[in-house]
Amino acid sequence: MASLTRCLYCTGVGPRAHLLSLSLSLSPSAFRLGPLLLTPALGKPAAAHRRRPDPPRVVVADASPLFAAEPATAAAFDFKGYMLQKAAAVERALDEAVPLAHPERVHEAMRYSLLAGGKRIRPVLCLAACELVGGRDAWAMPAAVAVEMIHTMSLIHDDLPCMDNDDLRRGRPSCHRAFDEPIAVLAGDALVSFAFALLADPSSYPPDASVTTDRIVRAVGELASCGGAKGLVAGQVADIEATGPGAPASLDQLKFIHLRKTAALMEASVVIGAIVGGASDDQIERLRQYARCVGLLFQVIDDILDVTKLSSELGKTAGKDVASGKTTYPKLLGLERSKEFAERLLEDSKEQLAGFHPTKTAPFLHLADYIAYRQK
């Protein structure tokens, strides 16, 4: 198999380290796309669901840590405290955004999935991007809540029997298992509407007009592009078509899937936060590339963990991708080369932050490390 090599590309913002080029049919600009056009559980679990047996658990013998050691700079910034503070603020905003209302069952299902915990990486990225370019949390909180609603919708729908068919999400029954399939579909659909209503409503923002109408309109367009037929939907369709018996997806196809299915929403989170914060086009482009690197890194690590961890450790069914015939990075590249790919993506993500205020980039640098070193 071809060796992993480094390539450079130039953009309107100067020379920059590209992601990774594999001579395996990827051109030097293969990862360089234009903007994608694109708690308490309140649910009432349905009784007497018959649980299907878990798929075979696939555990790779070499389950060593991804990297030899965590970065020495970890103590320079209280990343854990930062994440807890931001996540708590997001949690409160999510709770307020979807109150219980009639019809209660669909609202319960929405809240069951939306308030199920999780790392809240996407909304925190949104808040951090706004702060990085000089904005405040209050400016970006509507956007942060909106992207988490879209993310939750994607998880609800992804778990459905007609999609990835997973019974577990965040350590408890998936939405369609806790309620039923029709309610799960409708809960996901409703979250999309809630997201856009919140993001587009000028009253969601501080009354001092600090977030102008043109920024709001641009943010709405970015989120719509991320979730549409050239973003999340495109990635999901390509993923379905590449799953099952037959030849595995190529690296090009895998890149297409995950730039849209995984990276697109991280990209939207960062870019929308930067937009409402008043970023320049140059700053938005740099942050867009950072998010694409981090989004792919998240997926590569996810694939590695899927074959090196147990379901009890992950909070979801381990080994399911392999059992369902899905192409993953370890399946295509092998475990060691997948780790090398992750290392390069981590390095490249950090290079995109050159030129920003070094203190304000700390959350982005540590978030990239967190994604690379996470164990679930």
Paired sense of beta strands 4-11 and 14-22, if any = antiparallel
Determine the Cα–Cα distance for residues 321 and 306; give it in Å rounded to an integer: 7
Determine the Cα–Cα distance for residues 43 and 41; give it in Å rounded to an integer: 6
Q: Which segments of the chain does DSSP mark as H helices, in order?
A: 79-97, 104-114, 121-132, 137-158, 175-178, 181-200, 213-227, 232-241, 251-261, 263-276, 281-308, 311-314, 320-323, 329-333, 335-351, 362-373
Answer whether residue 51 shows pLDDT above 50.
no
Distances (CA, A) of 48 to 169, 179, 319: 19, 11, 26
Q: Tell me the pLDDT tens digit for each residue of 71-122.
A: 544 457 899 999 999 999 999 999 999 999 999 999 999 999 999 988 899 9
**Among 15-24, 104-113, 159-168, 223-232, the least confident range:** 15-24
CA atoms within 13 A on the CB side of 330: 23
What is the residue whose two structure tokens read 């990774």? 20
Sign (positive or negative) of CA dihedral 132, 123, 268, 198: negative
Q: Tell me the pLDDT tens digit for each residue of 214-261.
A: 999 999 999 999 988 889 999 988 888 887 777 678 888 999 999 998
| Averaged confidence pLDDT in the chain | 80
3-class DSSP assignment, residue 64 = coil
Residue % of the chain over a pLDDT of 90:
56
Query: Radius of gyration of the chain from Cα atoms?
Result: 20
Q: Looking at residue 52, what is its pLDDT?
A: 37
Residue % of the chain over a pLDDT of 70:
75
3-class DSSP assignment, residue 370 = helix
Is-contact 214 179, C-beta < 8 A?
Answer: no
- What CATH number has the domain spanning 79-373? 1.10.600.10
What residue spans define the domains of the chain?
79-373
